[in-house]
Amino acid sequence: MRYTLILILVLTLNELIAQSTDIPLNSWAYPALDEWDVKGKSGVFTEIKPISRRYFSELSKQTSWIKSKADQFDLGYIQLETREYLDSVEASSQPLFNTFFKYPSDVYSYSNDDFDLHVNPVVVLGAAKDQQGTFDELLFENYRGLELRGTIDDKVSFYTLLTENQARYADYIQDVTDTTIAVPYEGFWKQYNTSGVDFLRAQAYIDINATKHISAQFGYGKHFIGDGKRSLILSDFGNNYPYLRLNTRIWKLQYTNIFAQLVGQTQGGDFGLLGTGSFTKKYLASHHLSVKVLPNLTLGLFESVIYGDSAQNLKVEYLNPLIFYRALEQQDGSSDNVLIGLDFKWNLFKTISLYGQLVIDELIVSEAFGDAGWWGNKQAFQIGAKYFDVLGITDLNAQVELNRVRPYVYSHENNYTSYSHYNMALAHPLGANFQEMLLSMNYRPFAKWRVSTDVLLASYGNDLGNASYGRDIMKSYNRRPADYGNELLQGEETDLIMLQGKLTYHFWHNAMIDLDAIYRSESSPSRSRESVILGVTLRWNFPARSYLF
């Protein structure tokens, strides 16, 4: 990956044109993008996130469908987030000390013909109580840090974020940390007091344009592929990773390559590998092609390969941005883990967006359509719908999503080839061998207020003993009890119910207060646990995260 980046920089050094940073994942801007894409003709491919600020700025110029006060507020939000690419955003008439808050979106900013800079603090202060939890102390989140971004010579953009964090999470989140030795959405951690975690968060990238239609980004971060609440292809549930992303947008096509270095297995907490070398590495190569078949219909094809071994060697052949990975795998005589599949998004009646994903990990047609329960029938699918202005009620939106993943999807022979990173799933947080229904609604009674609710109904089959029944993707599929007779939810069937209500007040640009109420129940023949959580969180320049698992 390093040599590929050097080659790209050399070839494009004299051809760079204006580029931009991305809107961070889970930002307030993305729900607005989804709605405006349905109601208007944004022309933005929404499958691969994060998305460039420059494309958001083009969207903000198309305002014919913006009618409600909430739409107008969202438009103003996006214009502030992309103001370096717009001429219509006015500066404050009374900046603090004539230096700070020249714009509501930046504590400090500076711009001239050669250099553009935006500097902001990052703060998250949250407190909650689990009425059924094992901790007498309050649950809390305490994140502090700095974010800066900018552009040099209007050709090279950069972004970096660093935060220092302490937290005490709910029991069910702590369970994930105990079993994976990693914090969800994060990575390495240290013990904080007796029941908390302490960790650093770092993210950074540089972004350049090779041509008018091809961009290259090299950084340390993560991505999300899909239009749903979940992704069965690549999600942001795991830790950040070093990557090279190539993005080509031309005509009715978007083609994205992601080359990443992942961590095969870790030790964390108080068991860090001090003095024994770095964590074992493995690699991801992925490409995704989106085609706007119709103005309101987008089809996508993708292929990903995970590979590695004890030598941790990078395979140069997978760096080819156009090659078919499955063919390479066969030619090389390897047993790397290749996933293929498709996705779609179909906007209807300017109010409804249908979307879905299909993932194929293994496919033998005769077995796939048989009823013998062959273990290698490893497929997953997602189908969902978003409904905007439900029954004509302005700013009342709903979403329903079904995810179904058969046993052993994403797992492989060992940790070097499982579809995982830092002991976490690269796709769905439940791993495999599950089915899930998600129901969501949100309403904007006032422009700066959002009331939302999420309902999760899921069932999954847990492993029994040392055998793999297909849910834990970190376990080798060679530990399966049998080749045939495998069924969805095999093992110890567990039911999961989660209800979450949230009230958000967006009182300043990227500064919000969240009031949360969560009920979670997880039950199986051998275990039962409930959580009832009430909490409040102040966030400034840090997007909301969903611990919906």
What is the per-residue pLDDT across 456-486, written as a single tens digit (0 to 9) for each?
999 999 998 889 999 999 999 999 999 999 9
Confidence band, pLDDT 50/70/90 cuts, at residue 42: low
Residue 199 has pLDDT above 90, yes or no: yes
Residue 542: predicted pLDDT = 96
Averaged pLDDT, 214-234:
96
Residue 57 has pLDDT above 60, yes or no: yes
Confidence band, pLDDT 50/70/90 cuts, at residue 544: confident
Q: What is the mean pLDDT of the chain?
A: 89
Residue 258 has pLDDT above 60, yes or no: yes
Of the chain, the percentage scoring pLDDT greater than 90 comes to 68
Residue 334: predicted pLDDT = 65
> Tens of pLDDT along 85-136?
887 777 877 888 888 999 999 999 999 989 999 999 999 999 999 988 776 7
Averaged pLDDT, 57-72:
82
Of 151-155, 197-201, 240-244, 531-535, least confident by mean pLDDT is: 151-155
Residue 152: predicted pLDDT = 94
Residue 296 has pLDDT above 80, yes or no: yes
Of 274-283, 378-387, 417-426, least confident by mean pLDDT is: 274-283
Residue 6 has pLDDT above 50, yes or no: no
Residue 452 has pLDDT above 80, yes or no: yes
Averaged pLDDT, 73-82:
93
CA 158 – CA 88 distance, rounded (Å): 24
Listed ranges 53-62, 73-82, 157-166, 458-467; the one with the highest mean pLDDT:
157-166
DSSP tag of 104: T
Residue 267 has pLDDT above 70, yes or no: no
CA 250 – CA 214 distance, rounded (Å): 8
Residue 163 has pLDDT above 70, yes or no: yes
Residue bearing tokens 């052949």: 317
Residue 41: predicted pLDDT = 65
> Tens of pLDDT along 423-444?
999 999 999 999 999 999 999 9
Residue 277: predicted pLDDT = 56
CA 308 – CA 302 distance, rounded (Å): 20
Confidence band, pLDDT 50/70/90 cuts, at residue 181: confident
β-bridge pairing 434-443 and 253-265:
unpaired
Listed ranges 5-19, 75-89, 262-276, 362-376; the one with the highest mean pLDDT:
75-89
Residue 73, SS3 per DSSP? helix
Residue 3 has pLDDT above 60, yes or no: no
> How large is the angle between the packed helices 53-60 and 69-81, nearest 10 degrees?
140
CA 362 – CA 384 distance, rounded (Å): 24
Contacts of 44 (CB under 8 A, 6+ apart): 33, 37, 51, 55, 56, 58, 59
Residue 51 has pLDDT above 80, yes or no: yes
CA 416 – CA 279 distance, rounded (Å): 12
Residue 178: predicted pLDDT = 85
> Tens of pLDDT along 317-357?
788 787 777 766 666 666 789 999 999 999 999 999 999 99
Taking CB atoms within 8 Å and a gap of at least 24, the contacts of 295-300 are 295/41, 296/346, 296/347, 296/348, 297/344, 297/345, 297/346, 297/347, 298/45, 298/47, 298/344, 298/345, 298/346, 299/342, 299/343, 299/344, 300/47, 300/342, 300/343, 300/344
Residue 376: predicted pLDDT = 87
Return the C-alpha torsion angle 370, 371, 372, 376, nearest 10.
Answer: 60
Q: Yes or no: say if 223 and 245 are a contact pair by the CB < 8 Å rule.
A: yes
Residue 14: predicted pLDDT = 44
Cα 232 to chain centroid distance, Å, stands at 11
Residue 546: predicted pLDDT = 83
Domains assigned to the chain: 2-540 (2.40.160.130)
